[in-house]
């Protein structure tokens, strides 16, 4: 009997302990659910705060940029085309054509352009870009044709051309037509003309803008076409012309731009075909002058010119 009561008592204790454990487990589960649920609400709250701040930050940035833009525009409008008390241009200058198209846009310091200075055609295409030194005395220049192709490149010192200048075709972009050297705005030194493939077409020299020294023209193949000399801007001395295969066509002498002395016209085999004698540009034999001098004129005229890609004509 006592043993049975003992078993019943122990069984009751076990059931009570199981019930207690179930309640504890349920309480732990409910506690964890409560914590997770509240953590979720917390993160939702953080997300809403972040959205609010982010939206307002964007609005703030947009408003700030707009204010800066308006302020800058206002400042720009009020700080261009300024002259100082001495009437000298200072700072940013923009000049326009009567139709309100910009003529030039650049900067001045004490009435001298400095830095990058741009000029425009009335069709709004770029006309020139000059990069000035700080004192405005030197500039590296690039000029453009109205179609946008580069026209010329070179340097200025004191608004005068100085050093090497290059000149380009308006039709063929990048085709270098000629190259010259300047000193105080006058041609001085070597002057070259080129064919489209960059082969030299003509070579001569200048002294203070006057042709002087050896003058040579070439065929596109590079063979010599014509050779003579300039003295004080006039052809003087020996004058020779060759065919492209190297055979001599005619030769003679010049004196102050006029034929002088004996002139020879050659056959294809190099032997003399005609001989003419000139005195100050006129032959002694008038009939020979009519018959052959005109022929010599046409030969010399054609040989002394180079095809000009700009107008399908010639450049002398």
Question: How far apart are alpha carbons 97 and 122 in whole angstroms?
Answer: 7
Question: How far apart are alpha carbons 290 and 306 in whole angstroms?
Answer: 27
* pTM exceeding 0.85: no
Question: How far apart are alpha carbons 176 and 145 in whole angstroms?
Answer: 13
User: Confidence band (pLDDT; 50, 70, 90) for 132?
Assistant: very high
Q: What is the pLDDT of residues 170-224, one digit of tens each?
A: 999 999 999 999 999 999 999 999 999 999 999 999 999 999 999 999 999 999 9
Q: What is the pLDDT of residues 57-72, one digit of tens each?
A: 665 555 455 544 544 4
3-state helix, strand, coil split of the chain in percent (to 5) is 30, 45, 25
State the average pLDDT over residues 267-291.
77
Q: Per-residue pLDDT for 83 more than 90?
A: yes
Contacts of 235 (CB under 8 A, 6+ apart): 215, 228, 229, 254, 257
């Amino acid at each position: 009997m006592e043993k049975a009561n003992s078993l019943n008592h122990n069984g009751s204790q076990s059931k009570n302990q199981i019930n207690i454990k179930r309640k504890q487990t349920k309480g732990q589960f409910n506690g964890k659910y409560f914590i997770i649920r509240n953590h979720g609400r917390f993160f939702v709250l953080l997300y809403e705060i972040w959205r609010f701040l982010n939206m307002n930050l964007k609005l703030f940035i947009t408003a700030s940029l707009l204010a800066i833009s308006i302020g800058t525009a206002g400042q720009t409008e009020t700080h261009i085309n300024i002259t100082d008390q001495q009437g000298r241009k200072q700072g940013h200058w923009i000049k326009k054509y009567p139709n309100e198209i910009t003529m030039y846009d650049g900067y001045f310091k004490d009435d001298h352009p400095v830095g990058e200075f741009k000029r425009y055609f009335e069709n709004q295409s770029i006309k020139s870009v000059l990069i000035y030194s700080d004192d405005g005395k030197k500039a590296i220049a690039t000029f453009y044709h109205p179609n946008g192709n580069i026209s010329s490149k070179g340097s200025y010192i004191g608004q005068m051309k100085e050093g090497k200048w290059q000149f380009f075709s308006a039709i063929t972009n990048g085709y270098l037509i000629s190259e010259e050297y300047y000193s105080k705005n006058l041609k001085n030194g070597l002057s070259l003309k080129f064919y489209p493939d960059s082969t030299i077409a003509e070579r001569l020299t200048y002294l203070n803008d006057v042709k002087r020294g050896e003058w040579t023209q070439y065929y596109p193949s590079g063979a010599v076409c014509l050779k003579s000399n300039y003295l004080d801007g006039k052809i003087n001395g020996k004058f020779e012309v060759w065919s492209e295969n190297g055979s001599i066509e005619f030769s003679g002498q010049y004196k102050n731009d006029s034929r002088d002395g004996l002139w020879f016209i050659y056959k294809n085999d190099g032997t003399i075909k005609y001989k003419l004698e000139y005195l100050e540009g006129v032959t002694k034999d008038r009939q020979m002058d009519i018959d052959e001098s005109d022929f010599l004129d046409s030969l010399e005229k054609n040989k002394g010119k180079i095809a000009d890609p700009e107008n399908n004509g010639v450049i002398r």
